[in-house]
Structure 1
Amino acid sequence: MPPAAIRAARRFFRSPRTFFRDHPRARSAAVGFVVVLAFAFALAGSVVYLGGLLADTTDATVTVDNPDRPPEWVCDGPSPDVGDIDDGCDEPETIERDAGAMLREAAYDRTAHAFLGGLLLWPIAGTTLFITARLSGGDGGYLDTLGVAAWAVVPEFLRLVVALLGLRYALGRLELTGPVESYPDQLLAALASLETPLLPVTVVVFVWQWVILTAGLEETHGLSRTAAGVVVGVLLALWGGAMVVT
């Protein structure tokens, strides 16, 4: 990493306001997009990793319908031998599938949702931050506000890493047993043990985000520290409340 980039990173961690003041380009929406894009990729990668963890929790098999066999109305119809429509009717109606592989596939199916979710939250948060800052007397631009909002995802990397370590610990000790229908309840019971350890990490992340966004609004909107802090504090409180409800 170039020395200038190292110095900028140190400044960001030590004094976000100095970072935003000395590096105006860092407040641009273009740089913000790169930051958010990196987080979206990390979020998608974490879902893939979670799929692997889930696959290791069981070695059971599940009976499912055979996708290679045509529907019953084809095979049991009055003229099942017309053309090639009955191809595959000699296949078994059901097959055995690895439950772990199915859990992995279910997680992989959420990869795109995680990636897009990580991207879409940025303009929503940035727009909300811009509107509330303007209503509080700020005079900053929309794109600069988007750029500042993007840097609030940096603390989320910390929460993501800690969450993945917690998942690895909890799921590594879990072995799913019994009927497949009981798997969700078993998973929820295992994950419930992570709520208390993750709480202080969430508090640290919110405080860190408050510091970053408050400094950003001070610099881009010309707000006092008190006004900027109140704006950011209210928004983070609403965001935290929404997380608890959901």
Structure 2
Amino acid sequence: MVLDALLRPDDFFAERAPELSLGRAAAVVLVVALVTTLAVGAFGWTLGQQLTATTEIPNEERPPDWICENEADSDAEEMIQEDCDEPKQKTVVVGDLLWDTFSEFLPLVFVSGLVVWPLTAVGLHVASAMVGGQGSFTDTLAVTAWGMIPSAIQVIVGVAFLYAAFGSIDLAASNPEALAPQIQSMVERARGDTVLLSLAGAVWQGYVWSFGLKHTRDLSTGGAAFAGGGVALVVFLLGLA
């Protein structure tokens, strides 16, 4: 079924439209969001495990200097100053800091994957209405969901490009400052590959959305391509911003 929707969307939607299953569509969106989040999380965790260099950061367990420099006049102040013997700086592994950042970012990745579904559906519904489309918004939601599958594939392949780019870097380098420009250079090189990948993903999405709109919104192939392809182009350009 999934391959039919991605590779033969004309036949797929012709057999099922109108009144596409919104439940299946919601399941597709949920899977896409989960796969995207897992792919990004797996990359962050693996990269964090390889970044074994250390750096110094402020020790948050030590009270501020203005507390430690004053004489304690009460038992409460003595309790506050108990940790003043802790060092001002502590040594941490760079990979641990990276993973902390990734782990805070992952919920946003998952939620955004869900939020983008109805927003994109609104765009497709309006664009198709501009060329004379008729039909329920529920069907447009379903079409939108099936067209989001290429985005998950795009993320997986994009992560693979990043893995390949980082393969030429000694991630166990002892000097994080020397490591930073190398990582930036590799990310920029990989970004060139992922822009082409994003474009391919947008074309694929537009292909699925176009035939979905054709059958659910009662449009000509040209009108559906205008609506589906136009929204896919907007999504692609927003992704570059």
Q: TM-score range by the shorter chain?
A: 0.7 to 0.9
| Count of aligned pairs | 238
Paired residue secondary structure (2:35): helix
> Larger deviation: 213-222 or 15-24?
15-24
Q: Could you list the runs of 5+ residues in structure 2 that have no partner in the other structure?
A: none
Residue 80 of structure 1 deviates from its aligned partner by 6.2
TM-score (normalised: structure 2): 0.87
Superimposed CA distance per residue, residues 109-148 of structure 1 (whole angstroms, 9 cap, x where no aligned partner): 1111111111111111011111111122111111110111
| TM-score normalised over the length of structure 1 | 0.86
Unaligned runs of 5+ in 1: 1-7
Q: Please give the per-residue CA displacement for 1:66-89, whole angstroms capped at 9, x wherever unaligned.
A: 122222222222326532222212
| Mapping of residues 176-187 of structure 1, within 5 Å | 177=173, 180=176, 184-187=180-183
- Counterpart for residue 55 of structure 2: 62
Q: Which runs of 4+ in 1 moved over 4 A?
A: 176-184
Q: Deviations over 1:155-181 (max 9, x none)?
A: 123212211211211223223557645
Correspondence for 1:233 among 226, 229, 233: 229
Could you tell which deviates more after superposition, 223-232 or 67-76? 67-76
Provide the aligned C-alpha RMSD in A.
Answer: 2.3
Q: Could you tell me which residue of structure 2 aligns to residue 106 of structure 1?
A: 101
* Structure 2 CA distance for aligned equivalents of residues 106 and 123 of structure 1: 28
Q: 1:32 to 1:183 in 2, by over 3 A?
A: farther
Q: Is the 8 A contact 1:57 1:172 kept in 2?
A: no
- For residue 80 of structure 2, give the secondary structure of its aligned residue in structure 1: coil
Q: 1:169 to 1:144 in 2, by over 3 A?
A: same
Aligned to 1:3: none
- The whole-number CA distance in structure 1 between the counterparts of 2:65 and 2:74 is 14
**Contact 1:218/1:228 (CA < 8 Å) preserved in 2?**
yes
Q: 1:53 aligns with which of 33, 46, 53?
A: 46
1:243 partnered with 2:239: yes
CA distance 1:137–1:184, change in 2 (3 Å): farther
What is the identity percentage for the equivalent residue pairs of Structure 1 and Structure 2? Answer: 25
* Structure 2 counterpart of 1:148, from 135, 143, 148: 143
